[in-house]
Structure 1
């Protein structure tokens, strides 16, 4: 998901402040088995920073087929007893998560968490830096970022993990549910670390209609009325990391998402899939 300039500025301020009182911890995407965001004694935190070059295609009509750019990769994990905050920008499935660990025992975990599921967009498209109205999207209403709160059940194995999440939007965007299931595996090989994962998500009819439906006020000559129903998506992710020195790590990743027909058939959707790839360097403090 893409973050606004304000969010990035606030995050940088928080990051600098925390660096003055740091202790040691580890951070990892909640979808992977080396995630150590679990109950701690007191306060702990960890962070890393880097940069990467990415290329991604878009699923909205009228937008450029591909978007390429350099982006700053910042990752931060903060925990205090059972509470934690995780901002993961190294892996493509990462994002901002706020959580509380209810149970962490016998390789099982049950958490309350809050996270963003869907990026908002309007008649200018998805990107914050886009300028000007896109002709094919002219006249659509603004779709806001959501924020879901719910439960996550996790079962960890030696190098793999499976998780189930039920989230309900509390931001007032679509006011409905999203269900995520994700299986991941970590494979070390010599100095390489390979990460792969596959997931399935289900979205309520209200979610699908809010982001991809077309109501009567949005109908145009090339944009008919569209009433969507419950939808799904399939995600596949692969990452590779290699330490090139004591502090620097090379990373590369690929993420593919395929949408069900309920999303693909929307008049504002140009294709039923989205791919994103990145390559970059990360500095581990």
Structure 2
């Protein structure tokens, strides 16, 4: 927890970001380098998304920062990426980087927390359909990531375990991505599958006896999985300014979709924005 808090504080203080660093994509910049290096970009975007939790509006929109930062020191790296919708914060250490193969130790957040006010746990009223549920906390998961880069694509596999004691579960991920250039446009596409252990699924989507109501029965969740499909496009407006757009769709298996606090078995999010590359 202290290490996690330290890096979150670094992020908030610097309010910055890096480009082309998402670990899911073949042009990521997380190869080992000698000494200390860093890179960043900053921007903003407008998003539209629907919620999978009961009682929440199926339509939500707003502005969000596009903050990216990469810091590397020899084989260690900190990557904060919000350009891709599948991005986030990753702490890593490169064990192997040879012949287009990579093996890393990585730490990252997989699941956002929520409570009876919904996914945004600040400045929100209690949602009647969620009233009485316990707060589900953010997790932080650590494990191994193996990747194989090709000319314009990459396949990666991750095996992660929660180290915060939030749910003590396991997550297994496989992701295949491709990047294509057309004139000044860059198009990115990715597809993946995530497997969640029963500990993970039951912590976030199970219903304990003290949370149950006449409208919300007890639910003991088992292992589950989700499918992910992602598209992105970027176009340089000037030497430093870049236009970006993205779409991310996620479909949940019955282990999640059958939960009494889940309203639908899918979630979609789209955004458009600009960022300044230094």
| Structure-1-length-normalised TM-score | 0.93
Q: Which residue of 1 aligns with 2:125?
A: 132
CA offset digits 1:52-109 (Å, max 9, x no partner): 0000000000011111001111000010000000000111000000000000000000
Query: Within the alignment, does 1:220 sit opposite 2:223 as a pair?
Result: no
Deviation at 1:46, TM superposition (A): 0.5
Contact 1:27–1:86 (CA under 8 A) maintained in structure 2: no
Go from structure 1 to structure 2 and tell me whether the alpha carbon gap of 1:56 and 1:15 turns closer, same or farther (over 3 Å shift): closer
CA offset digits 1:203-258 (Å, max 9, x no partner): 00010000000010100110001011110000000000000110100000000000
Q: In the aligned structure 1, how far is the partner of 2:158 from the partner of 2:110? A: 12
Deviation at 1:7, TM superposition (A): 8.7
Q: Which residue of 1 aligns with 2:135?
A: 142
SS in 1 for 2:103: strand
User: For the aligned residues, what is the CA RMSD?
Assistant: 1.7
Q: Which residue of 1 aligns with 2:3?
A: none
Alignment of 1:124-203 (within 5 A): 124-203=117-196
Q: Which residue of 1 aligns with 2:108?
A: 115
Alignment of 1:24-39 (within 5 A): 27-39=20-32
Q: Which residue of 1 aligns with 2:13?
A: 13
Aligned pairs, number:
273
Contact 1:27–1:46 (CA under 8 A) maintained in structure 2: no
Contact 1:27–1:77 (CA under 8 A) maintained in structure 2: no
Structure 2 unmatched runs, 5+ = 1-5
Deviation at 1:164, TM superposition (A): 0.3
